Amino acid sequence: MLGSCSLPCLLLILCLPIQALADLSFDGRNRFVMQAKRMSITLVNEGKEAALAQVSLDWGEDGRQSDVLPLAVSKPLLRIEAGSRSTFEVLYQGQGLPTDRETYLLLSVLDVPPSPKVPNAMQVALRHRLKLLYRPPSLKITLDDAMATLEWTLPDGAGGPPKARNPSPLYLTFSNLEILDAKGQRCGEPLEHLMLAPFSEQRLEMKDCRPASLRYDIVSDAGNFRPQGVTLDPGSKAHAVPR
């Protein structure tokens, strides 16, 4: 029954007018690093109509969804006029998060569509989800320091997947990660995103390849890409260098 009406239903949906949404942005930011008990975040409405934004925070780390979140936002609901901006604050109560490492959170902004101006219009709500890292002020390490401690290893013998070890208290985010063989050929498709938690390690997945090097981008605190490369030596620890 469902299959018989799926095509007509889809055609009906495509024929409905779609309610336009305001264009919300974060003033050029795509991630945030919080290093105090409060942080201001600016939302910009680049659209031609007023926007209503619903703001919330969630745990980003697996296994913590049932824990009480010791942070809040000052304005859970914001109305932003066309071409204007509005600021809200993320507030931390001062306890409840680790002090020896970063905490990974998700900032969620739901772009609530306005009431439809035409009958039978289909409304679509867009949700923006951005990383928010809480970095305790007691941590004096920088992202550059953390990148310098990152270790890559290969198992001895007939080869195997590379392993990344992050001994630092900061999250390390990789983009466009490529495993290369001795001829510089790619071992499979690039890994678009990898997030390595503090004090953790992870093996990369690969098949039918003898890895010889890696190249990737490290994502900075500002969300910029920093190209890195590393030459792998079985049984030895390797560190990346800028490329």
Supply the DSSP string of 124-172, one letter for each residue.
--EEEEEEEEE--TT----HHHHHHH-EEE--SSS----EEEE-SSS-E
Per-residue CA distances from 16 to 21, 30, 126, 210 (Å): 15, 32, 18, 53
Q: Look up the domain containing 228 and give its range.
A: 143-242
pLDDT, tens digit, for every residue of 128-160? Answer: 899 999 999 999 999 999 999 999 999 876 567
Q: Can you give the pTM of this predicted structure?
A: 0.85
Q: What is the pLDDT of residue 65?
A: 74
Tell whether 121 and 181 lie within a shared domain.
no
Q: What is the pLDDT of residue 18?
A: 41
Tell whether 28 and 108 lie within a shared domain.
yes
> In this structure, is residue 7 part of a structural domain?
no
Tell whether 121 and 155 lie within a shared domain.
no
Examine the fold and report which residue of 134, 157, 187 is the final residue of a domain before the chain moves on.
134
174 contacts 217 by C-beta, under 8 angstroms: yes
Total domains in the fold of the chain:
2
Tell whether 162 and 123 lie within a shared domain.
no
> In this structure, is residue 1 part of a structural domain?
no
Q: What angle do CA 235, 236, 237 make, to 5 degrees?
A: 135
> In this structure, is residue 219 part of a structural domain?
yes
Q: What is the pLDDT of residue 60?
A: 93
- What letters, b where the CB count within 10 A reaches 16 and e where it falls short, cover 73-91? beeeebebeeeeebebebb
Tell whether 122 and 147 lie within a shared domain.
no
Tell whether 187 and 163 lie within a shared domain.
yes
Tell whether 74 and 28 lie within a shared domain.
yes
- The residues near 35 (Cβ < 8 Å, ≥ 6 apart) are 134, 135, 136, 137
Tell whether 81 and 100 lie within a shared domain.
yes
Tell whether 170 and 212 lie within a shared domain.
yes
Examine the fold and report which residue of 134, 162, 193 is the final residue of a domain before the chain moves on.
134
> In this structure, is residue 232 part of a structural domain?
yes
Question: Could you give the CA distance from residue 82 to residue 135 in angstroms, rounded to a whole number?
Answer: 34
pLDDT, tens digit, for every residue of 215-242? Answer: 999 999 999 999 999 999 888 899 999 9
Tokens for 12, please give them: 């009906």
Q: Which CATH number goes with the domain that contains 99? A: 2.60.40.10
Q: Indicate the SS3 state at residue 39.
A: strand
Report the run of H or E that residue 15 belongs to, with start and end.
helix 2-15
Tell whether 181 and 93 lie within a shared domain.
no
Tell whether 129 and 156 lie within a shared domain.
no
Tell whether 127 and 199 lie within a shared domain.
no
Examine the fold and report which residue of 134, 168, 190 is the final residue of a domain before the chain moves on.
134
Q: What is the pLDDT of residue 120?
A: 56
CB neighbour class for 112 (10 Å; exposed up to 12, middle 13-18, buried from 19):
middle
What are the φ and ψ backbone dihedral angles of 56, each rounded to 5 degrees? -150, 165
> In this structure, is residue 6 part of a structural domain?
no
Q: What is the mean pLDDT of each run of 10 residues along the chain (243 residues)?
A: 52 44 81 97 92 94 83 96 96 96 96 67 73 96 96 80 96 96 92 96 88 96 95 91 90
Q: What is the pLDDT of residue 62?
A: 77
> In this structure, is residue 106 part of a structural domain?
yes
> In this structure, is residue 3 part of a structural domain?
no
Q: What is the pLDDT of residue 160?
A: 79
Q: What is the pLDDT of residue 12?
A: 45
- What letters, b where the CB count within 10 A reaches 16 and e where it falls short, cover 173-194? bbeebebbeeeeeebeeebeee
Q: Indicate the SS3 state at residue 95.
A: coil
Q: What is the pLDDT of residue 82?
A: 92
Q: Which amino acid is at 225?
A: F
Q: Indicate the SS3 state at residue 2.
A: helix
- The residues near 33 (Cβ < 8 Å, ≥ 6 apart) are 132, 133, 135, 221
